[in-house]
Structure 1
Amino acid sequence: MPGGPLSSRFGIGVFSTAASAMMAATPGISSLELSLFRLVNQLPGSFRIALASVMQLGSLSAVPASAGVALLKRCPALAADLALAGGLSWGAAKAMKVMVARARPALLLTEVLIHGREQGGNGFPSGHAAVAAALATVAGDHLPAPARCPTVALIAAVALARVYIGAHMPVDVVGGGALGFTIGTAVMARHSPRD
């Protein structure tokens, strides 16, 4: 990857992913993370339907769905990039969950509100946040600058939803978002000119 904006983005992504993994691997929960979790997790139940819907933008099924939309729009290169970035992000998140082994909020804290069904497995990083960030990073590189703002808002909404339903702590979704951003940037770097 040559120097320039993509290599800077990649470096920021790697640093953010590593820093959040170190925070997640550290025993205990910081007071800031606990406060943020409680603030989001205790939002009224009326948020559940809207957040559960937007959360699906980070599910594994969003990968073939977004690639399919790109194919329908006659953008096969974009479809391939979406499939690659989304699939790699999902797989990388699964691998990191084993390496970091941070529990879900219900096992870390008392009085966690579970909005929906309780999630199993480890919490860090959020696979939903990773997939959403990877797809948004790839799609964003194909959009004019003003149209990128909604993609960032969707990543934030998916992350918020995962904390709200009680599936993740804030560091989990930050780490997932950073992981997806890193992988999406690496996929897009394949198209940048080589020195």
Structure 2
Amino acid sequence: MTRPRIRERDAVVCAAGLTVTALASTVARRHPAPDRWLFALVNDHGEARPFRVLQQLGTPWVLPGAAVVAALAGRRRLALAAALALPLEKALEVSIKKVRPAPRPLYVQPTVLRDDAPVEGGSFPSGHAAIAFAAAALVAPDLPSRARPAVLGAAAAAAVVRIGQGAHHPVDAVGGAALGVAVAAGLRSLVGR
């Protein structure tokens, strides 16, 4: 695939991710029954301590870490995109939380809080999901095709762990994942591969 076509594809993926995030934000404030049911299923399941490690994929150190690794590997464009991803993701996440505030699960339904599940601040979108999916979407195209599903699966697991901890509803995780993919695709479109 030629570079212009790759950039066009990345721009389309970015637009689609932002559209999914916007659509999910309209659902997040209403807390429909399927979202509440799925939250209860994951949150009531109990604590899965081994999976807590996967939550770390959604912490802010991941994207700068990816930038450093990419720079050391001589992948300057990937390093630049990864370095820009965290400030862009955080700016969008915080803006959405201010414009479309949605309560944490604790204020919507019975919730078991685990680990560092916050009770304050907006719930939509999930920052952990956004960061994990931004990192996965940035690095996946540069990995062997066999490794890509594992990277994306780990990002999805990080989002599910946050639901299990009582920090987010499923729609928050979906919105965060879409936002992360949009950020990664947008930066890849601008910076190139």
TM-score, length basis structure 2: 0.88
Instruction: Give the CA deviation at 1:6.
Output: 2.1
Distance 1:150 1:124, change over 3 A: same
- Pairing of 1:72-83 with structure 2 (within 5 A): 72-83=72-83
Instruction: Give the CA deviation at 1:163.
Output: 0.2
- Pairing of 1:30-45 with structure 2 (within 5 A): 30-45=32-47
> Counterparts of 1:113 and 1:165 in 2: how far apart (Å)?
7
> Counterparts of 2:54 and 2:83 in 1: how far apart (Å)?
19
> Counterparts of 1:126 and 1:60 in 2: how far apart (Å)?
13
Instruction: Give the CA deviation at 1:192.
Output: 4.8
8 Å contact kept, 1:86–1:135: no
Instruction: Give the CA deviation at 1:117.
Output: 3.4
> Counterparts of 1:89 and 1:36 in 2: how far apart (Å)?
26
- Pairing of 1:60-139 with structure 2 (within 5 A): 60-109=60-109, 111-119=110-118, 120-139=120-139
Q: Deviations over 1:63-82 (max 9, x none)?
A: 22222222333333322211
Q: Deviations over 1:148-187 (max 9, x none)?
A: 1112101211110110000000010100110111111000
Secondary structure at 1:190 match in 2: helix
Q: Which runs of 5+ in 2 are unaligned?
A: none
- Pairing of 1:46-61 with structure 2 (within 5 A): 47=48, 49-61=49-61
Partner of 1:150: 150
Q: Deviations over 1:80-113 (max 9, x none)?
A: 211212331122112211111101001111x201
Is 1:24 aligned to 2:23, yes or no? Answer: no
Q: Which runs of 4+ in 1 moved over 4 A?
A: none
Partner of 1:13: 17
Pairwise CA RMSD of aligned residues? 2.0
Identity %: 31
> Counterparts of 2:55 and 2:117 in 1: how far apart (Å)?
15
> Counterparts of 1:87 and 1:144 in 2: how far apart (Å)?
28
Secondary structure at 1:145 match in 2: coil
Q: Which runs of 5+ in 1 are unaligned?
A: none
> Counterparts of 2:147 and 2:86 in 1: how far apart (Å)?
20
Q: Which amino acid aligns with 1:40?
A: V
Secondary structure at 2:142 match in 1: coil
Mean Cα deviation higher: 6-15 or 121-130: 6-15
Instruction: Give the CA deviation at 1:126.
Output: 0.5
8 Å contact kept, 2:77–2:192: no
> Counterparts of 1:171 and 1:148 in 2: how far apart (Å)?
24
Q: Which amino acid aligns with 1:43?
A: H
> Counterparts of 1:90 and 1:9 in 2: how far apart (Å)?
19
